[in-house]
Amino acid sequence: MDEVLALTIELCRRPSVTPDDGGCQDLLAARLAARGFAIERLDRGAVRNLWATHGGAGPVLVFLGHTDVVPTGPESAWSSPPFVPTVRDGLLYARGAADMKGSVAAMAIALERFVYANPSHAGTVALLLTSDEEGDAVDGIRHVAQAFRARGQRIDWCVVGEPSSARSLGDQIRIGRRGSLTGYATLHGVQGHVAFPELASNPIHALAPALAELVARRWDGGTPEFPATSFQVANIRAGTGASNVVPGELTLDFNFRYNPAWTAARLQAEVEGCFARHGVAHSLRWHLSGEPFLTPPGALRDCIVATLRERLGMIPDANTGGGTSDGRFIAPMGAQVVDLGPVNARMHEDDEHVRAEDLARLSDIHHEIARRLLVA
């Protein structure tokens, strides 16, 4: 069995539902330490963060990943148990196979082989892992980036292992991400009997015209590099369960995925203005998950494109689609950030899987990226 596939299977058989790491990072740290990497723990609370480095002065190339996974959902919906990795018809089925233990294994083995072949390489090559990517993302890479800034740790280039490919390995890379801003609104009304609406104040009725305006609005038409800004409602909660009671409170959770045409502050002001126009009595809490970022053509992006052209015979579609990644915490440090990983095959769904042969190919690509940037 291929070494990358074997390591992926070993990682996938360890249940590590966020923020649990399931011992994955200890396994990887032991392997890398045996090959001369310096190991540093940057844990916070229940979250495990691993920083493994090899090299010295010069540019810093980081491979970034996460060892946590999302819950499996009903195991009865899976064709095989989610934490019993199974290869069928050339596909590895397991929770985390695509997102992103396959990438983590590919990166780790690429780094082992790279330092074996190039023990005196220029600069520093590193593996950065967290168990808080799928969760709140507070004590993971966000925390690590803050610690790095405090001590002056530089990062020049960062390859994120998220499953960026669409139909075949390397056909798509992410060169940036939209920002993510979530609002948690509480609308205040007066509870009462539905037969006496004049004695009550229904927050559902108050919200309806404001929400209709926010949903119908065309926020922008996108930019040359970014998709259009979107507004989506995630949750609405109100009512007592009885059909004859006007609720006294409503909670609304919503999210913006926004491009650089906006700032978080401007979006917040637009929502507050809309609520004010419609007389919505409310309180509102905001959570900024990350600002939009873009990696223009440069050393890392050019290197990845050249490597994919050479190894796979294709020029990837370089775009900023999809959700967020932990690269959003590294980009503000001044790093060039690109997401490069396997095909996004049912990640977060039942029967998550990855093409087994793609794992070794992905590891070879990571190895070549490191060689081009730190040796050639």
Catalytic annotation, residues: 68, 133
Backbone angles phi, psi at 289, to 5 degrees: -80, -30
DSSP 199: G
| Rounded CA separation 253/359 (Å) | 38
| Rounded CA separation 359/85 (Å) | 14
Q: Is the dihedral of CA 358, 361, 365, 367 positive or negative?
A: positive
Helix (H) or strand (E) run with residue 209 in it: helix 203-216
| Rounded CA separation 325/331 (Å) | 11
| Rounded CA separation 216/269 (Å) | 17
| Rounded CA separation 369/157 (Å) | 11
DSSP 97: I
Instruction: Decide: residue 114, CB within 10 A, 0-12 exposed, 13-18 middle, 19+ buried.
Output: buried
**Neighbour-count burial for 179-199, b at 16+ CB within 10 Å, e otherwise:** bbbebebebebeebeeeeeee
| Rounded CA separation 106/195 (Å) | 64
Checking phi first, is residue 253 left (phi over 0); if not, alpha (psi -120 to 50) or beta? beta
What residues are paired with 61 via a beta bridge? Answer: 125, 157
- Give the count of beta carbons closer than 10 Å to the beta carbon of residue 266: 10
Decide: 166 and 307 in contact? Cβ < 8 Å.
no
CB proximity list for 59: less than 8 A, separation 6 or greater: 122, 123, 124, 156, 157, 373, 374
> Residue type for 97, please?
A
Helix (H) or strand (E) run with residue 318 in it: strand 317-319
